[in-house]
Structure 1
Amino acid sequence: MTLTRQEVSQHNSRQSCWVVIHGAVYDVTDFLDSHPGGPQVILRCAGKDATEDFDSVHAPELLSEVLPESTVRGHIDLAELQVLDAKLNDTMQTKSDSNAPPSLHSLINLHDFEHVAQKHLPANAWAYYSSGADDEISKRNSARAYQKIALRPRILRKIPSVDTTTSILGHSVSLPVYISPVGIAKLAHPDGECALAAAAGKRGLVQVLANGSSMPIERVMQSRNSPDQPIFQQLYVNKDIQKSVDTVRRAEKAGASAIWITVDSPVVGKREMDERLNLNVTGQGVAKIMASSTSPYIDWEILTWLRQYTSLPVVIKGIQCVEDAVVAYEHGVQGIVLSNHGGRSQDTAQSPLLTLLEIKKFAPHLIGSKMQIYIDGGIRRGTDVLKAIALGATAVGLGRPFLFSMSAGYGEKGVLRMLDILRQEIETNMVFLGATSLKELRPEMLNVSRLERDLIGSVKL
C-alpha cells in the first residue's frame, strides 16, 4: 500500500506511532516500551521519516530482527520521498562545500583528529563520545598521569630496528595496542565498527567489539581481513539475564575469541554535556539511554555464571584498585583491564596508571603472570604506550581516538592514518630509550617519583 506523508503524520502519538525507515512505514506502537533506549527516542520521530535517526546508530539488519513483517503498514509515496531526498542532498552538499575537513596528510598527531572531530561531528555525537562524568576530573587526570612520568633514555645503543609485536590472549599483534569497545560507532562514520575491523586487520591489531555496537557482530566479522583476525566481544550484564546469554552465544557462534565483561559502570555516570544537549529531546543523554538496561546487581559470582555458557577466555574490564586486581587473579580470569571507563563513570576515581603503580608496588606477582594486564584511558602518544608497557602492562586500549579518526568522512582511511602516526611515535621513542623490543622496556627507564606521590600508603590484600 502506498501512503502519503499526510497519512503517516496523523500517527504521531504513543497511542498510534508510525515511523518511516527507508521508505517503509512501520507501526511501532507496541514496540515503544520494549525499545532499549526508551520510548521517547522513537516518539520524537512519530509520524515522520526516522531514516536518518535509525541509520545513525543501527545497521539495516536490525529492522528484520526486531520488527516483524506484520508491523509494515505500507510504503511512503515515492515522489514525496524523492523531493525530500533532493532537498536534503542540496543542504548536505552546501554544508560539505563550506566546511570541508582537512586532508589526512595534514593531521600529524592524535590530538589533531580530536580537533577535527569536535568541528565535524554532529553535536549529539561529540557530546556522547567526548563527555566525562561530573567535572571530568578523572577524564583529565588519566591523561595527566602519563605526563607526570619522565623517561630516562639510554644512549649509544646500536638499534638497527625495533620489534613492536606482542601477544594478546595468545593472538599475535603488531603493536601493544588494541581497539577498546566503543559504542555507536556509526555516529562517527556510516561504516562504524566495520571500518574499525577492516583497519585493525590491515595493521594487525585486535578489536574489542562493544556490547552496544551499531553493527551486528556477523557483519563486523565479514569486514575482517582474514578468518584468523581476532575480535573480542564486550559484555554488559543485562537486567534481563537471558539477553546476556544470547549475546555470549551469538558472539561465540560468530567466531569471537574472548569475552570482555565490563564491570565499572553498574549505573551510568552523570555525563553533563551529554545530558544537557539531549535534555529537550529525550529528557536524558545518549549514554543514559544506552546504559538503561545494564544490571547493577552482580558480584564476583557473575564469573561462575559466565563460564556456564562459554569456554572462551574471560577478561574483566574496569579494575580500579590493586585489591580487586588480586581478587580477579584468584578467580582465574585470563586478563584484566585497568580502567575508570574513560572518566565517564565515577568522577575523581583514580587514574588507571596509578592503579598499575599500585599493582607494581603491592602485588608485583601479578605482573608477568598468567593473567595479562591491560590499561586504557588518556593514552594519546607513543610515549604513553611505552610507559604503560615498561610498568608491566601487556597492551593498552584506545577508544575515543579511534572514533575521532573516523569522523569527518575519513572512515577506515582515518583509522589507518591514526595508527600509522601512533606506530611511528612508538618506534621512534623505543630507539630513544635504547630498546629493541617491548621486552626490553623496564621500569628503570622511567622516573615515576611524581606519580608515586599519589600512591596510597598501604593496602590490605
Structure 2
Amino acid sequence: MRFPRSGLRIGSRWGSRGLHWRAGAPRMWPKLPNAHFTAGAIIAGSLAFAAIAGEKDFIRLDTAQQGREITVDELQKHNNEEDGVWVCINGLVYDLTDFLPMHPGGAKIILHYAGKNASTIFNKFHAKDVFTKFLDPEKCLGPLVGDLEPAEDITASEEDEEREQLRGQLPKLSKVFNISDFEYLSKRILTPHAWAYYSSAADDEITLRENHYAFSRIFFNPKVLTDVSDVDISTEFLGVKSSAPFYCSAAAQARMGNEDGELSIARGCGNEGIIQMISSTASYSLGEIVEAARKNQPQWFQLYVNEDRDISYNTIKQCEKLGLKAIFVTVDTAMLGRREKDLKFRLFDDEDEVSSTESHADDPLMNFKDVRLTWEDIDKFKSMTKLPIVIKGVQRVQDVLLAIDHGVDAVVLSNHGGRQLDFSRAPVEVLADVMPVLKEKKLEEKIEVYIDGGIRRGTDVLKALCLGAKGVGLGRPFLYANSTYGEQGVTRAIQLLKRELLLDMKLLGVSKLSDLTPELLDLRSLHNRTAPPDMLYNAGYEPLAPPKFLNET
C-alpha cells in the first residue's frame, strides 16, 4: 500500500469517487487471468471486485474474495489499533492493523483513514495488485454494504488546481527542443511533493550533479572526409532489436505526474521502437503495463529483491509468462539513501520526533529490500530462468569481473541516479575504467555493459558508446516528458534524442555504432574533478570580513 508519508507523489487529479454499495446491489467477482502471490504464497485464480456500471474512477483490485458483508457502522467502529484498523477501498473492507508497522508511508496516514472510505487517495497512487504483494488474503474482510462517501484526499492542496490550469498552458510540443525542456516544464506543473520525489537525491546531491557534469569533461576528436550520408543508430540489446542505443530505465510511481503513468510511457516507447524497463514499484500492475504496449514490443523488468525470496521467484515466473525479455536486478539499495528534499514533504511528522529510520521508512521500495542480498541470489536467479539476468547498480571494476564469473548477462554501471551513496563516482567515469580492463583480459565479449545517470543529450550517449557501453538508460527524463505531455511527450523525447544522435554522428565522422571508439574522445579532463559548490554549506557560511575604515559602519 502506498500512502507516501511525504505526501509526495501528486501530479494529476483523479477525483475518484470510490464505490457506494447498497444492500441488494449486484456483486460480481470475475476471475483474473494471472495468478498473484503474497508472503511467499501464490494466490492462484485471484478475483477482482467489479465496478458498478458507469463507474470510471475506481481501480479493480486483484484481491481474493473473502468473508462476509461489512456494514458501515461496523467499519466505523474499527478506527484505532485497539479495536482494529479497517479501511474501505473501492467497495472492499481491509484489515490493515498488522500492516501498520510495515507501511512504507508510515502508520499515521493509515490511522487517519481508519474506519473510513479511502478510495480517493488510494486510487490516486496505487496499482491494482498492491494488496496481493503485501497482505495475506484473509485481510480482505468482504464487501461494504451501505453508503459511505470517500474521505477527503489529504495530499491535495489549493495549489493543485492552479497547477492544473498551468498544465493547460503548456507550450506546443514543437517548442520543446531538448530533454531538459521537459524537466523545466515539469518543475512548474508538478506539485512540490511530486517534484521532490522525482528530482531528489542523497545528502548534498553531489553525485546527482556529478553524473551529468562528468560528461562535460569529455571532448571529441571528430574525423573528417568520411561518407556519412547513411547513418544507422539501430542496435541490439541482449539479443533484442532496438531502434536506438538508449532505453527507458525504470523509475517508480510514474502516475504522480500523469494519471496514465507507465501505460503512456509504454505506448510512447512502442511508437519509437525503444525498450521500456518496468519498475518493481510502478503505479500500474505489471500485466497492465505489458497490455498497454504493442504486440511483441520488448520490455524489461527491474527487480527489487524481497526478503521473502518466493515473492521474487514468482515475479520472475510472471515476467516469463508475460513475455518480458530480461530481468534487471537492482543491487545498490540494501538501504535507501537519505533524500532530504523528499523527507521534508512527509505527512504527519511530529515536530519534535526524530527517527533513526526515517531515511528509509518513507519509500515503498523498502518493502523490496534485503540487506542479505548476495551473489548466491544472483546464481539462483540464473538457475531458475532462461531470461537474461542483469545486475543494475555496479560501481567498480572488480564487481564487473565478478559478474562475469557468475555468468551474468549484462551489468548496468549506475549509482541509482545519485539517490543512494553520495560521492559515488559518475557511471561514465567508471565505464572509462571498466572497458580497458575487460579488453586487456579479453572479456569484452563476455558481458554487455550499460550505464545510466545524468544523460541529457545525444552527445552524452555517443560519449558512453565510444567508451564501450552497449547502450544507455534514461529514467528521470522520461518521467518528465510523461508528466508534461504523456505519450506524446515520451515519443517527442525519444525523437529529439534520435535526431541529436544522427546529427552528432555525422559531425563526428561516423556512420554506424561500431565505428564509435575511444580514439574519438579526449579524456584528459575526465578524472580532473572540480568540486561542485556545497549549496547547503554555503547558505550558512558567513565570509570573513576585512578591517573597516573609521568612517564605515
Is TM > 0.5 for Structure 1 vs Structure 2? yes
User: Equivalent residue for 1:13?
Assistant: 80
**104-113 or 425-434, which deviates more:** 104-113
User: Equivalent residue for 2:506?
Assistant: 431
Distance 1:162 1:45, change over 3 A: farther
SS at match of 1:214: coil
Provide the rounded CA distance (Å) in 2 between the counterparts of 1:331 and 1:434: 38
Aligned-partner residue type, residue 291 of structure 1: L
Q: Indicate if the aligned counterparts of 1:59 and 1:214 stay in contact, CA closer than 8 A.
A: yes
- Corresponding position: 1:447 with 2:522: yes
Q: CA deviation at 1:390?
A: 0.7
Distance 1:370 1:280, change over 3 A: same
The match for 2:373 among 295, 298, 301 is: 298
> Looking at CA atoms only, which structure, 1 or 2, has the larger radius of gyration?
2
Aligned-partner residue type, residue 466 of structure 2: A
The 5 Å alignment of 1:24-423 reads 26-33=94-101, 35=103, 37-62=105-130, 66=135, 70-72=140-142, 74=144, 77=147, 80=149, 96-97=164-165, 100=168, 101-226=170-295, 228-278=296-346, 280-281=348-349, 284=358, 288-293=362-367, 294-364=369-439, 365=441, 368-408=444-484, 410-423=485-498
Q: TM-score, normalised by structure 2?
A: 0.74
Higher helix share: 1
Provide the rounded CA distance (Å) in 2 between the counterparts of 1:343 and 1:183: 15
Aligned-partner residue type, residue 239 of structure 1: E
Q: TM-score, normalised by structure 1?
A: 0.88
Distance 1:158 1:43, change over 3 A: same
Q: Indicate if the aligned counterparts of 1:128 and 1:286 stay in contact, CA closer than 8 A.
A: no
Unmatched runs of 5 consecutive residues or more in structure 2: 1-20, 23-69, 530-553
Provide the rounded CA distance (Å) in 2 between the counterparts of 1:95 and 1:377: 28
Q: What percentage of residue pairs aligned between the two structures are identical? A: 38
Q: Indicate if the aligned counterparts of 1:28 and 1:71 stay in contact, CA closer than 8 A.
A: no
User: Equivalent residue for 2:13?
Assistant: none
Q: CA deviation at 1:251?
A: 1.6
SS at match of 2:345: helix
Aligned-partner residue type, residue 396 of structure 2: C
Provide the rounded CA distance (Å) in 2 between the counterparts of 1:76 and 1:355: 60
Q: CA deviation at 1:261?
A: 0.9
Aligned-partner residue type, residue 492 of structure 2: R
SS at match of 1:318: strand
**283-292 or 357-366, which deviates more:** 283-292
Q: CA deviation digits over 1:329-368, x for unaligned, max 9?
A: 1221110100011111100011111111111333324674
Provide the rounded CA distance (Å) in 2 between the counterparts of 1:432 and 1:257: 34
User: Equivalent residue for 1:459?
Assistant: none
Provide the rounded CA distance (Å) in 2 between the counterparts of 1:61 and 1:247: 12
Provide the rounded CA distance (Å) in 1 between the counterparts of 2:217 and 2:457: 14
Distance 1:407 1:233, change over 3 A: same
Q: Indicate if the aligned counterparts of 1:278 and 1:286 stay in contact, CA closer than 8 A.
A: no
Q: Indicate if the aligned counterparts of 1:329 and 1:366 stay in contact, CA closer than 8 A.
A: no
SS at match of 1:208: strand
Q: CA deviation at 1:141?
A: 0.5
Q: CA deviation digits over 1:306-348, x for unaligned, max 9?
A: 1232121111111101111111112211101000111111000
Provide the rounded CA distance (Å) in 2 between the counterparts of 1:99 and 1:202: 24
Distance 1:279 1:285, change over 3 A: farther
Q: CA deviation digits over 1:175-214, x for unaligned, max 9?
A: 1001111111221222222222211111111111112122
Distance 1:90 1:144, change over 3 A: closer
SS at match of 2:259: coil
Distance 1:272 1:62, change over 3 A: closer
